[in-house]
Structure 1
Amino acid sequence: MFNLQAEKLEYLSQKLEHLKICLSDIKLATDNFSEACKIASLNGLTLYRAEVDHFDIENHPSIEGKNAGDHPKIHNTIVITRYPYGPDTDGEEFFTQIEMLSSVKHPNIVTLLGYCVEGFEMIIVTENVSNGYLSDYLEKVNSMHILTWEKRLKICIDVAHALRYIHYEMENQKAILNCDISSYNIGLDENLKAKISNFGFSVFISPNQEALYSNRSFGNIYYIDPEYEKTGMLKRESDVYSFGVVLFEILCGRMAGDQIYKESDKRLAPLARQRFCMGTLEDMIDPILKDEIGENNFVLNGGPNKDSLHTYIEIAHKCVAETQDQRPTMEVVIRELEKAIFIQVSLCS
């Protein structure tokens, strides 16, 4: 058995026993973790997509005596995340993901369907995101044609709603700092509704707590709050910064780690701030979007209206401010993004 702390195993057995799934069922669903079922590998995690009818959940012994409503709604297709395993694995990220997902309920956060802890295996089962992840589109230039400006705005608003929820709207006197917002962790369902999928580095704070200090390394370097890097102080505004990087990725049609930014010797956010101040940020906009902007504010093929675009750019720039106290709350971010989509839809209808 790997080194998952005894109290955490106790938590799983007492609080979430009804979500336990046998390893044999998972192996059957994935054809023993075959390459054909594999959809991604990232930071040691391996993701598989499988059909839920392989699971005999209704007759599963782990839910005997439970009410029918205790188990989440069954989805036809599910995502199976296999965590790194071995004698030196402490299971911290695995347990945190389960603890956080079992504490949230929001349409823009993936639903936890089950988990497996057997031998050296640590596995989490969540609802499927049938249109993949936002990173899939940003990494493939041709795929970005699918995401019109209006669709991009809706994706941003979805994620913003999820962040407002975990920052301010949870029950039981809890709030969460996600600490790993990135395009890799934003799933898109069959309707392109966005859902945050990863909480492995997240931390609980109390609703009236503004900050906490940590020396942990969180998430992807291209999205990390620079003030946290310098001081170790985590705040809600740290998530706002990471979200701001995603906003600029969506605007520019490239991942934050794209080679073009590495060649400029700057990360995306500092480069965007510099270009914003110089008045040259529009040079960075996704060519797919620029091709769809006509002269005199005409909009072609679902491209951005200039007022909508400028509203978006203003709030994105504020999100990636260098210091935490200069960044807006998610409430403000949502208001501005909804203004941007209102302008877009009303002037294009």
Structure 2
Amino acid sequence: MDSIMKEFEHLVVKLEAIKSATDNFSDTKIIGKGGFGNVYEGELSQPRRKTKVAFKRLDRKHGQGNPEFWKEVMMLSCYTHENLISLLGYCNEGGEMILVYEHASNGSLDRHLSSTNLTWTQRIRICHDAAKGLRYLHEDKGNHHRVLHRDIKSSNILLDENWKAKVSDMGLAKVGPANQYTFLITDIVGTFGYIDPMYLRMGFLTKESDVYSFGVVLFEVLCGRLCFDYSNAHSWNIVHIWKQKYEENKLDEVMLKDDLMQALDQSSLEIFSEIAYQCLQESREKRPKMSDVVEKLEIALKTQEHVDLTPKKYREIVKAVVPPLIYRSVEELKVLLSKGVLLNGGKTAKLHNPMFEEYQEIVKAASQFLVYESLVELKEILSKGVHLDGYKTWFSLNEKGEHSHMISIKDCLIPNEDLPSRYESHCWSRFPAGLYQTNNKGFKTRVKTQLLSPAITYTVNLVLHCSSYCDQAYVDLKYRLSGESTTSTVYLANERREDWLYTAELYQFTSDGSIVDLEIIFENSGTNIVGVEGIMFQPLEIVEDPMLEDDKLSSDTEKSTMEKNHFSCLGKWFQCNNDTAQDDTPQEVYYVAIVQPTNAVSPVYRKL
């Protein structure tokens, strides 16, 4: 046990901090209850800010204890995924055992089953998210092991502020060999109504036991209620009724219906209900793998999204189009119709709305389905940022409408055959791939973008995670452009405004709107760099600094100096000038190369 505690000591949270955050475990802070105990919400003080978190406090009278506690710590530390709840810390002090999680502000799925505020698209997406989390647990992680959850149910699927689903409660999970179909266990655990009947009768546990439980959750979402019914102080499992209604083609008698909700598309219903029914097969051999469940739910989701996204005035046109239209957003539909489509009877329909043309390529490449009815709404969405190209890049607009574009390190890293690439999921990363682990080795990247605004000066930044907790972090990162012999060094990285990641500015250039194609070689892994998220192209922000007033050159002198210092290639970037700043308060002055459209380089000095 001491070795386990030492391994995870970086996750330790003091009991005093937890009591302060929960008002000494006040009932007003309780946001949930379960087999482990009460769950409280509160703000935990971090080095630079307060973070809203959830505290799960062990209550041994519920039957769980030390083994489940430490298993949860180990599982959530070893297995991380965007659709698994993240463990932020734990407390084992003063007789208390408490787990600290990321806060899922929308609570657990079971609380929303009957809600008419959730659209069918949201419901299917939640199931799709949860299925991806469970698929990750079942996959071989390269160590010939898989994780069996053993307690999949709607109350163990948590929803964040964006309604993204995350599988939680790993206290009962069991690790087993990936190449072994079944193994015998002595204890049968889980929750009434969700437990695989074969597991309950025979005591044999397989990954298909989780699949059965997930099938129950799918039917709960479809029918808008829990899988058991209470009457006369007794609880009755109604899963067999749902299976019977499916077999009799009478699902409409039990599924959730409300006049306020957009109707569930028939094709989507058929795909969703079929995979849910397959999960509940008595024979384990007939149950699908979680990878198959994910695939089917994705099809059902896309089908329903088309229905939700298609404005009423276009629905008759879309139904009549031959062959069927494939689109991911209203804007894509409008683009297709603007080109003309063939309808039944040889007629054509055409729609044109030129005000969206500027962002047409962005909308087409969006990984999410963007819903908007005006250019103002579209710009508002883009100002918050959207994923493009299958969640490989990130695009956003600043207040001036200038484009920013970030490329995931996984999409621009040049593989090293001698050193396999390794990534770790991170709660602050914008990308599912997470952060690249450098293993204290240099690395190479090739990054392309054609989404930059013309005639704008851009900074090229490496986005990274540091072990530092300051506004600026010392990184001492050496790099050069492919084909160049001169090595440059960036010494400081600045904290990114919206999270705890940092940006290290490499160089600047003025965009002419054409494709930018750069191959950058990082000769070392830097200092204090924990992981790398990607490379970001960001419009240069001009910040007036009164400290520079005394150092400004006259306009004539500056012009003369810059004219004499043009180069034919990218010269030295961020080279530290040790001969400058000799005043009483020494400041490091960094040299930044600004690339002009002619490939000439003009030196500009900035104090940091």
TM over 0.5: yes
SS at match of 2:39: strand
Of the candidates 234, 239, 255, which is equivalent to residue 269 of structure 1? 239
Indicate the residue corresponding to 1:17 in structure 2: 9
Task: Verify the 8 A CA contact 2:229 2:237 in the aligned structure 1.
Answer: no
Indicate the residue corresponding to 1:278 in structure 2: 248
Q: How many Å separate the matches in 1 of 2:64 and 2:221?
A: 35
Whether 2:59 is the aligned partner of 1:80: answer no
Of the candidates 268, 290, 295, which is equivalent to residue 330 of structure 1? 290
Q: Is the alpha carbon distance of 1:153 and 1:89 closer, same or farther for their aligned partners in structure 2, counting shifts above 3 Å?
A: closer
Of the candidates 182, 188, 196, which is equivalent to residue 217 of structure 1? 188
Whether 2:154 is the aligned partner of 1:183: answer yes
- Give the structure with the larger helix fraction: 1
Amino acid at match of 2:13: I
Task: Verify the 8 A CA contact 1:104 1:170 in the aligned structure 2.
Answer: no
Note the alpha carbon deviations across 1:50-97, whole angstroms, 9 max, x for none. Answer: 1122xx558xxxxxxxxxxxxxxx8721000001248x9751211111
Identity %: 37
SS at match of 1:26: helix
Indicate the residue corresponding to 1:45 in structure 2: 37
- Of the structure 1 ranges 313-322 and 168-177, higher mean CA displacement relative to structure 2 is found in 168-177
Structure 1 residue 303: deviation in Å?
2.5
Task: Verify the 8 A CA contact 1:85 1:122 in the aligned structure 2.
Answer: no
TM-score, with length taken from structure 2: 0.48
SS at match of 2:228: coil
Q: How many Å separate the matches in 1 of 2:242 and 2:264?
A: 19
SS at match of 1:105: coil
Indicate the residue corresponding to 2:98 in structure 1: 123
Q: How many Å separate the matches in 1 of 2:152 and 2:84?
A: 12
Amino acid at match of 1:273: K
Whether 2:300 is the aligned partner of 1:340: answer yes
Q: Is the alpha carbon distance of 1:89 and 1:76 closer, same or farther for their aligned partners in structure 2, counting shifts above 3 Å?
A: closer
Q: How many Å separate the matches in 1 of 2:64 and 2:302?
A: 48
SS at match of 1:147: coil
Indicate the residue corresponding to 1:105 in structure 2: 80
SS at match of 1:39: strand
Task: Verify the 8 A CA contact 2:36 2:60 in the aligned structure 1.
Answer: no
Structure 1 residue 278: deviation in Å?
2.1
Q: How many Å separate the matches in 2 of 1:13 and 1:189?
A: 29
Q: How many Å separate the matches in 1 of 2:237 and 2:125?
A: 25
Gaps of at least 5 residues in structure 2 are 311-608
Task: Verify the 8 A CA contact 1:75 1:127 in the aligned structure 2.
Answer: no
Q: How does 1:119-198 map to 2 (within 5 A)?
A: 119-138=94-113, 141=114, 144-198=115-169
Note the alpha carbon deviations across 1:163-210, whole angstroms, 9 max, x for none. Answer: 111101534433100000001101000000000111111000122222
Structure 1 residue 149: deviation in Å?
0.4
Which structure is richer in relative contact order (CA contacts within 8 A, separation 6 or more)? Answer: 1
Amino acid at match of 2:57: R
Divergent runs of 4+, >6 A: none
Task: Verify the 8 A CA contact 2:188 2:203 in the aligned structure 1.
Answer: no
Gaps of at least 5 residues in structure 1 are 1-8, 59-73, 293-300
Structure 1 residue 23: deviation in Å?
0.9
Backbone CA RMSD of aligned residues: 2.3
Q: How many Å separate the matches in 1 of 2:70 and 2:161?
A: 28
Amino acid at match of 2:177: S
Amino acid at match of 2:26: S
- Of the structure 1 ranges 278-287 and 328-337, higher mean CA displacement relative to structure 2 is found in 278-287
- Give the structure with the larger strand fraction: 2
